[in-house]
Structure 1
Amino acid sequence: MKYMILGIATFFLLSGCTVKYENIYSKLPAFQEGYKDGCESGEEAASNSFSQKKIDIKRYNNDSVYKEGWDEGYYDCYSDRELEIWMRHPAIFGY
Structure 2
Amino acid sequence: MKKLILAFSVLLLSAGCQSTADQTREEMRSKGYSNSYADGFADGCESGKQAGGSYFDEFQKDINRFNSEQEYAQGWSDAFRQCELKEEAELRQQRMAIEWQNMEDSHKDNIEHEALKGLENVDTSELKSLEKK
TM-score interval (norm. to shorter): 0.5 to 0.7
The amino acid of 1:47's aligned partner reads G
User: Pairwise CA RMSD of aligned residues?
Assistant: 2.2
With a CA cutoff of 8 Å and minimum separation of 6, indicate the structure with the bigger relative contact order: 1
Map 1:41-52; keep pairs closer than 5 Å.
Answer: 41-47=47-53
- Name the structure 1 match of 2:113: none
Percent identity of equivalent pairs: 26
Equivalence for 1:69: 75
- Displacement after TM superposition at 1:53 (Å): 2.5
Deviation at 1:52, TM superposition (A): 6.0
Any conservation in 1 of the 2:46–2:60 contact (CA below 8 Å)? yes
Instruction: State the TM-score, normalizing by the size of structure 1.
Output: 0.63
Is the 2:46–2:58 Cα contact (8 Å) retained in structure 1?
A: no
Which residue number corresponds to residue 37 of structure 1?
43
Match of 2:117 in 1: none
Higher helix share: 1
**C-alpha separation between the residues in 2 aligned to 1:58 and 1:78?**
23
Which residue does 2:61 correspond to in 1? 55
Gaps of 5+ in 1: 1-20
Compute the displacement of 1:28 (Å): 0.8
1:14-33 → structure 2 map (5 Å cutoff): 24=28, 25-33=31-39
Q: Secondary structure at the match of 1:47?
A: coil
Alignment: residue pair count: 68
Larger gyration radius, structure 1 or structure 2: 2
Q: Write out the 4+ residue segments of structure 1 that deviate beyond 3 Å after TM superposition.
A: none
* Structure 2 unaligned regions, length at least 5: 1-23, 100-133
